Structure 1
Amino acid sequence: MRSLYSLQMIVMINLAVAVLCADKYSRSDFPPGFVFGSATSAYQVEGAASEDGRAPSIWDTFAHAGYANGATGDITVDQYHKYQEDVHLMAEMGLDAYRFSISWSRLIPNGRGPVNPKGLNYYNNLINELISHGIQPHVTLHNFDLPQALEDEYGGWINRRIVNDFTTYAEVCFQEFGDRVPYWTTVNEPDVFAVGGYDGGITPPRHCSPPFGVNCTRGNSSSEPYIAVHNILLAHASAARLYKKKYQGKQHGFIGISIYTTGNFPLTNSVEDAIATQRANDFFVGWIVNPLVFGDYPDTMKKIAGSRIPTFTNHESELVRGSFDFLGVIHYSSYYVEDDPGSWELKQRDYNTDLAVKISNVGNASLTYELPILPWGLQAVLEYFKQVYENPPIYILENGQRNRRNSTMEDTSRVNYLHAYIGSVLDAVRNGSNARGYFAWSFLDVFELLDGYESGYGFYYVDLDDPDLKRYPKLSAHWYSHFLKGGSISSDVLIKLKQNFFALSQGHFSQ
């Protein structure tokens, strides 16, 4: 492993170089086989939350308690009933792949036990529909939606029993769908899931303890985030080992896990801020990836969290290390990092006080609802994986621009964002990154975790007041389709698309 000094030099070099992100390119500039797609997740897109045998998940419980801006995913955009229409739109757009998640509580309502035949039928139909249109299914097994039955029975991810239950659920998926699904992601962004759900209590399942969380009724913010991630890593490793041993040889698929990342840059040139930036990388990326690559948590985390972070046995370390074929990167924005020595003086500890940094926005993020366009942040993340973690195969599984949901169909900011970030991925690949695919979040405007239907990341606007939930392509849908079908991308393309947007919106895509 490289020294702290060399790691910081890597980050700073990337910051300086990445401002040269490609502006003019086409998909033919990417390596053969590089995959372009779009993404959603089950609770955010399916609807039919209480239909055909599906049972509640912790996300249902969270939303129905009013924590998602008063909205729920009971209906959302109803892909459960409209999947054929949506797949047709994906094919018309030109997607190579569609990333979606399986609702564990739709497939196995009680978390363990009998498989729900109607849930099984739905996912078979969706997968078959995708394949019939030449679209590759990329499946995530858990996306913030643990069956509520397992949470109620033994506490879900903070109990070691979850490892067996998750492995059994994963095997059902491998058995039933693995002949057609080439890519499996076990758990979506466990770093965010653990901090939000078990420290601050702002995401499902809302575990937290004073003074760190709001309206806490259960949990321990000091230890549970670390316990949850530990069990997620063990469950991932168990499922991956099963897949590799029993299914991979005949199904020829790949398995991995995803990590939420931010571009982290020192606020100043001080040694303290440089060390704090590395600490931030350790606490987010290293928390998940160090065990997968090296078999243990970063030394920084172990030293700071002490006995509150679980210890891998030698056997567990061997199981976790190397238990992936690819890593999924989720990335939206970047931050300046400043050392916060005052955190060390606090006697009550949680993940954030252990982290001991202050973060601030790069650019004018505080002045706009939209995310700032900082593509060198993603490029720096990809370079970090290359330099620190032996350049593993990477799929960018989420990246996209947020708009207010009803703001405009002419979503120029989303086009500019995607143009810049896809260009940064191209530059990273040219610089030796092992990135192999890019998925824009999201295909449709869906139910979002914290703000329900206030924001939209989608290529398609969905009219929630229309009983048929009609889909309407935005300017970004035409832009992405132009790129996917081989068109050259440059600033001039956006001008031409905007000039023709009204005509393009009349029901067809054009190169």
Structure 2
Amino acid sequence: MKKLLANRTNHSHVIEGGRGRGVNVWDGFSHRYPEKSGSDLLNGDTTCESYTRWKKDVEIMGELNATGYRFSLAWSRIIPKGKVSRGVNQGGLDYYHQLIDALLEKNITPFVTLFHWDLPQTLQDEYEGFLDRQIIQDFKDYADLCFKEFGGKVKHWITINQLFTVPTRGYALGTDAPGRCSPMIDERCYGGNSSTEPYIVAHNQLLAHAAVVDLYRTNYKDQQGKIGPVMITRWFLPYDESDPACVEAAERMNQFFHGWHMEPLTKGRYPDIMRQIVGSRLPNFTEEEAALVAGSYDFLGLNYYVTQYAQPQPNPYPSETHTAMMDAGVKLTYNNSRGEYLGPLFAEDKIAGNSYYYPKGIYYVMDFFKTNYSNPLIYITENGISSPGTENRCEAIADSKRIDYLCSHLCFLRKVIKERGVNVRGYFAWALGDNYEFCKGFTVRFGLSYVNWDDLDDRNLKESGKWYQRFINGTVKNPAEQDFLRSSLSSQSQKKRLAC
């Protein structure tokens, strides 16, 4: 397992800053709705400035002995006006060439994401982005340019990050860019229909993804690389395991959460339960489109953070307050019918309520994908936890909570590989360093390395980074007997040494 490990950072918008690129939808969103971008009302204009400090980031990866680095290309940095026909920014291409070359010099494998939500704003303004089928050709042209430029060096391509996220958060709730939703969901949304648009956007994402995969397989097979999408995953447990309705709700939620995209990717059609409930609001694939979408991946990237309890809840469609996420007819909580929480605190939220994490959920998710989707090649492309941005430097660097989170999840990941034979080829921790976080601004820290916001050259491994470094290096004499649950902070003497 240790040879499969890698480390990752966040995508371009939250680490690079705005210098040297065109405006994207998250720029527009965070400036238009600063209160939605984090309670600190800040944005990603500057963040940790990896655009100018990428050499330092590569040094930290070298210190970690990371074997891989997942990052995304900023579409608006390469094509500022969205369409290739309007001109390409050579400075943007040069930046990514330098980064990729530096990684390869350190034997770090680049995993490159083409689209991580930062659509050029001009395409949103012209035709509402993924709400219109025009996006398919523009995304294909952008990908074609990237394959030509970087395909000789990049052998692992990700088309779209978290297919579930933009349709739901960007077009149903309006909490993410571009910020569309029905008026009664959030009056600040500049337009939208939360009952219909998420399904259209998801459909166009699948078609755009499949078109790019087909392009890569047809025109760039000589590059001998692999390509696939990233799914956000979550496990769902019955709120009351003795109640058949709760068991059914958990199963139904799996289909709406995972099957929404995986059924088209494997069978060329949406799940039967979705077609029954959503009806005419759910688009259809033509025979040609279904053939293009089905099997359009060489691997799957799976992101996992939390698990939730599921119980039945009436679907209010049609109503002015309906969103696509209500169609499953499920209420999700972090506590069950006995009032028990899933596990340790994941994130404190005084408004929406606290969330909790469940390490064994990663076991169930991996087994679910193996069993239901023909044992695909899998990379864990995100797994991590935040810490409060209010912590002082000493507290932030001690970082025991992140060690416990990563350690416990890696334990269950190893367990499912050994017991169930899941084909997991690599693991990327989220994230390499602290940065601007979507919808949270700088109020949280996700990094294995500490970034000093008053001096961006001050970037150093936290204790979690040092623990991860030891984990990658396999410092124990017998890795087969390594106790993955034992954190390096377990002894009282260690805790005393790190006391602030």
TM-score for both structures, normalised by structure 2: 0.90
Give the fraction of aligned pairs with identical amino acids, expressed as a percent.
37
- How large is the Cα RMSD of the aligned pairs? 2.1
Quick check: 1:446–1:458 contact (8 Å CA) kept in 2? yes
SS in 1 for 2:123: helix
Q: Tell me what 2:27 maps to.
A: 60
Q: Tell me what 2:246 maps to.
A: 273
Q: Tell me what 2:351 maps to.
A: none
> Is residue 2:414 matched to residue 1:426?
yes
Q: Tell me what 1:402 maps to.
A: 386
Deviations 1:114-153 (A, max 9, x none): 2100000000011001111111000111111000010011
Q: Tell me what 2:228 maps to.
A: 256
Deviations 1:279-312 (A, max 9, x none): 1111111111110001111011111111111100
Quick check: 2:60–2:461 contact (8 Å CA) kept in 1? no
Aligned counterpart for 1:393 among listed residues 374, 377, 380: 377
**Aligned ranges 1:252-331 → 2 under 5 Å:** 252-268=224-240, 269-331=242-304
SS in 2 for 1:199: helix
Question: CA–CA distance in 1 between the matches of 2:144 and 2:59?
Answer: 30
> Is residue 2:74 matched to residue 1:103?
yes
Q: Tell me what 1:11 maps to.
A: none
Question: CA–CA distance in 2 between the matches of 1:254 and 1:382?
Answer: 20
> Structure 1 residues 495 and 365, CA, compared in 2 at 3 Å: closer, same or farther?
closer
> Structure 1 residues 367 and 129, CA, compared in 2 at 3 Å: closer, same or farther?
closer
Q: Tell me what 2:460 maps to.
A: 472
Q: Tell me what 1:376 maps to.
A: 360
Quick check: 2:185–2:321 contact (8 Å CA) kept in 1? no
Q: Tell me what 1:82 maps to.
A: 53
Quick check: 1:190–1:232 contact (8 Å CA) kept in 2? yes
> Is residue 2:6 matched to residue 1:36?
yes
Shift of 1:463: 0.7
Question: CA–CA distance in 1 between the matches of 2:467 and 2:492?
Answer: 10
Quick check: 2:315–2:327 contact (8 Å CA) kept in 1? no
Shift of 1:163: 0.2
Aligned length: 470
**Aligned ranges 1:195-214 → 2 under 5 Å:** 195-214=168-187
Q: Tell me what 2:149 maps to.
A: 176
Letter in 2 for 1:57: N
Aligned counterpart for 2:402 among listed residues 401, 414, 435: 414
Unaligned 5+ segments in structure 1 are 1-26, 505-511
Letter in 1 for 2:101: N
> Is residue 2:211 matched to residue 1:238?
yes
> Structure 1 residues 341 and 426, CA, compared in 2 at 3 Å: closer, same or farther?
same
Quick check: 1:332–1:371 contact (8 Å CA) kept in 2? no
> Structure 1 residues 273 and 460, CA, compared in 2 at 3 Å: closer, same or farther?
same
SS in 2 for 1:375: coil
Shift of 1:109: 0.6
Shift of 1:39: 2.7
Deviations 1:449-484 (A, max 9, x none): 011000111011111112x44112111010000011
Unaligned 5+ segments in structure 2 are 335-340, 349-353, 477-481
Quick check: 2:10–2:431 contact (8 Å CA) kept in 1? yes
Question: CA–CA distance in 2 between the matches of 1:82 and 1:359?
Answer: 41
Quick check: 1:39–1:397 contact (8 Å CA) kept in 2? no
Shift of 1:346: 5.1
Mean Cα displacement is larger for which, 201-210 or 264-273? 264-273
> Is residue 2:42 matched to residue 1:71?
yes
Letter in 2 for 1:37: N
Q: Tell me what 1:454 maps to.
A: 443
Mean Cα displacement is larger for which, 316-325 or 262-271? 262-271
Shift of 1:334: 0.5
Deviations 1:323-382 (A, max 9, x none): 100111111000000011364685864312212111110425679638634111111000
> Structure 1 residues 503 and 169, CA, compared in 2 at 3 Å: closer, same or farther?
farther
> Structure 1 residues 220 and 497, CA, compared in 2 at 3 Å: closer, same or farther?
same
Quick check: 1:201–1:214 contact (8 Å CA) kept in 2? no
Q: Tell me what 1:163 maps to.
A: 136
Q: Tell me what 2:338 maps to.
A: none
Quick check: 2:10–2:430 contact (8 Å CA) kept in 1? yes
Mean Cα displacement is larger for which, 336-345 or 433-442? 336-345
> Is residue 2:16 matched to residue 1:46?
yes
> Structure 1 residues 497 and 344, CA, compared in 2 at 3 Å: closer, same or farther?
same
> Is residue 2:156 matched to residue 1:186?
no
Letter in 1 for 2:471: F
Shift of 1:392: 0.6
Question: CA–CA distance in 1 between the matches of 2:497 and 2:50?
Answer: 27
> Is residue 2:406 matched to residue 1:436?
no
> Is residue 2:462 matched to residue 1:483?
no
